[in-house]
Amino acid sequence: MADLIKQDQLKEDRRRVNQFTAERMARQNKDNLQEKLEDLFLMYLDSDECRFMRFSQLEDLRKFYVYIKENL
């Protein structure tokens, strides 16, 4: 009986560790994606294409950036 309790406890501990590891990896991936998105956005803002955009186009671009960042 004690062995069954220990096995159940070990299974639960492994499940918690796996869940924590998966959550940590997801957070790291999200952080990496947000950094890449920010770098791409800044690079695009410095490009020649962006220099000749109208204000409304820049505002649409900003809204798109915010939407993606919030939904990552």
Give me the tens of pLDDT residue by residue for the chain, a chain 72 residues long. 778 888 889 898 899 988 889 889 988 988 888 888 888 888 888 888 777 788 888 888 889 888 888 887
3-state secondary structure (DSSP) of residue 52? coil
d(CA 41, CA 36): 8
d(CA 21, CA 37): 24
Which among 68, 3, 29, 52 has a CA at the least distance from the CA of 11?
3
pTM: 0.57
Which among 5, 6, 72, 1 has a CA at the least distance from the CA of 41?
72
